[in-house]
A and B are shown apart, each in its own frame.
Chain A
């Protein structure tokens, strides 16, 4: 196996990893505010792609505007979902909320099936076709878009969490809801904001990946599982950890294909995930639950 091939495997891992990372960020956001895993996150990814395709092909909008419509309307759906389903559960019992998100994901994908039909739908590449050569290996321009968007999202989230009152309030919510409420934080609003951001981020991921893979009403669960695994691997609640988790997961799969077998790539990635969690239950970069806000 030559150096160029090894580099190509690395780039393939980087590409898949950056997709997982962008999806993982959404899991991390909701977890940080509510302490629950939002299993509807994959559906936000699906809606981002689907609604953008609808705006682009159905309404005939130019691609940047169609993408904006897709992301903004998905974010709105995220807020509606939170208000109608999550907020109604007054005690905030995590288990009940997780099951609500599972139900919500089924509702969202069924609705997409009926509104947009069962077939896969394409979206053009953001900046035309083409790829760049990296020492003989190739990388699609669209992948650079995905990596760039992930980087910007992480930078914005880091700023939000560490430099703004809103971010600090969201983190306080995650650590202790009751205590946060006592010091005057509107915890319910924080949850709504987290769903708004998570849905928007999920939609952004769906929008960025659709030109490469097409989208359909049923893409959510598969991508959701990968993003979830990436978020767990990195350590929940921390945007940088989510990105690290995504990249490590993508690389693991790529290495499995290169040196073992493509048949077992998911199984191998899963075994490594379990092994990591066995040694570090909080994930690669996760800190223990005690946290100062």
Chain B
């Protein structure tokens, strides 16, 4: 009798233990990895991503990447024996919401650093809260203004337009093109690109002969392209990161402009090729080397880091990561690597200083070296020109 009761008790205890373990595993999943090396209170990092609204297509791979990499970091022992937690908040592609969730992350969750926002508007709106709290922010948005309008607390991982525009200009000059037209969206990315294009074109052999814009959500750009057709431009520069880019490519093919269409890193998405179909052929754009990791050189550390990330991401999410996933990867690791270099009990200020000392960090977007005046940290060497061919990307000669 006594033995039976004892056995029954054991079974109940085991079942209860299993239930608790699986429950806590679920809870850990929600917090994007609260397990692993948790001996002390984990380090808390906040991430403001656009999981709904216009930039939802960018926020999703960013979230996937952060969740996957946080698990990996914690499995490998976390930061100096302490695990890390990244608290992800959705800003709904809205600047006001970005401010609200940033305040919550700072005040309630007491995060030590921030990743985000996905968009330039959100990133800039967060600045007041970041400045007030004095914690470092690593943005994953591409606007030039983020680091051009310098703030010692703010860093940026994507290639900014101020890097991509001169790189694209050099390509155009090499092609023997002199007259260019630009067509861009009137939103953040396009307007930022046009401002940089107009600023940087002086001092090159290029001449801007037409400048046209369209609004996000527009259904047809034939009229703008007709105007460009009459301007004598030898190449059309497209600056847009949205679905309108495919419409521009298709309209241009219909009008048979007969000049090359050159895009930007904003078009490094398979959705662009799917949308524009045949009209995407021979489309040329500059972007980081992650699209074709061989561009790094197969014996380089960059190649290994990128292919390892691409393999793990593809296995877990069933599709290859895009450039936005790479920006989130870089932001997370820049913060984590800086934390690892510091002693236990560091302050947010010390973390900021350490992030600024990042030198030669091999990420997905390239090799980052920050300085007190450069918080973007990338260079021309991290960019390469691509050409769309047979529905995929190839390196442009």
Stretch at the interface among A1-9, A75-83, A149-157: A1-9
The reply to whether the CB of A13 lies closer than 8 angstroms to some CB of chain B is yes
In the bound complex, CA of A13 to CA of B221 (Å): 10
State whether B243 touches A19 (Cβ < 8 A): no
How many whole Å from B372's CB to the nearest CB in chain A?
37
Q: Which of B182-222 contact A (CB under 8 A)?
A: 186, 212-220, 222
Q: Separation in Å of the B106 CB from the closest CB of chain A?
A: 27
Indicate if B52 sits at the interface (CB-CB under 8 A): yes
Given contacts A118-B57, A120-B243, A138-B255, contact A9 B223 (CB under 8 A): yes
Chain B residues with Cβ below 8 Å from A96 are none
Q: Are B214 and A122 in contact (CB under 8 A)?
A: no
Q: Which residues B15-73 have CB closer than 8 A to chain A?
A: 52-54, 56-57, 59-60
CB-CB nearest in chain A for B59: A118
Q: Are A8 and B243 in contact (CB under 8 A)?
A: no
Q: Out of B54, B186, B230, which one reaches A263, CB within 8 Å?
A: B186
When the two chains form their complex, are residues A5 and B226 in contact, meaning their CB atoms are under 8 A apart?
Answer: yes
- Which of B163-171, B271-279, B286-294, B359-367 participates in binding chain A? B271-279
For the complex, what is the distance from the CA of A2 to the CA of B224, rounded to whole Å?
15
Q: CB < 8 Å: which of B57, B230, B256, B277 contacts A138?
A: B256
| CB of B237 to closest CB in A, whole Å | 15
| Binding-face segment, B146-154, B246-254, B305-313, B374-382 | B246-254
Give 1 or 0 for each of B83-107: 1 = CB within 8 Å of chain A CB: 0000000000000000000000000
Q: In the complex, how many angstroms separate the beta carbon of B304 from the nearest chain A beta carbon?
A: 29
B357 within 8 A of A: no
Inter-chain contact B226/A12, CB cutoff 8 Å: yes
Contact (Cβ within 8 A) A118 B227: no
Complex: A119 Cα to B275 Cα, angstroms: 11
Give the complex CA separation of A110 and B56 in angstroms.
11
B254 touches A140 (CB 8 A): yes
Among A19, A131, A213, A263, contact of B254 (Cβ-Cβ < 8 Å): A131
CB neighbours of B222 from chain A (8 A): 8, 11-12, 15
Q: For the complex, is A162 an interface residue (Cβ under 8 Å from B)?
A: no
For the complex formed, measure the closest distance between the CB of A215 and the CB atoms of chain B, giving whole angstroms: 9
Interface pick from A97-105, A216-224, A229-237: A216-224
Contacts of A19 in B (CB 8 A): 219-220
Give per-residue flags for A228-262: 1 if the beta carbon is below 8 A from chain B beta carbons, else 0: 00000000000000000000000001100110001
Q: Which B residues are CB-close (under 8 A) to A262?
A: 212-214, 223-224, 227
**In the complex, what residues of A have CB within 8 A of residue B278's CB?**
129
Residue picked from A11, A218, A223, most chain B C-beta under 10 Å: A218
11 further contact pairs, Cβ within 8 A, besides A214-B246, A258-B226: A5-B229, A11-B222, A16-B220, A110-B52, A117-B57, A118-B59, A119-B271, A214-B275, A219-B217, A223-B217, A253-B223
- Closest A-B pairs by Cβ, 7 of them: A222-B217, A118-B56, A12-B222, A120-B243, A12-B223, A118-B57, A257-B223
Q: Which residues of A contact B (CB under 8 A)?
A: 1-2, 5, 8-9, 11-13, 15-16, 19, 110, 113, 117-122, 124, 129, 131, 138, 140, 209, 212-214, 216-219, 221-223, 253-254, 257-258, 262-263, 266
Q: Which residues of B come within 8 Å of A, CB atoms?
A: 52-54, 56-57, 59-60, 186, 212-220, 222-224, 226-227, 229-230, 243-244, 246-247, 250, 254-256, 271, 274-275, 277-278
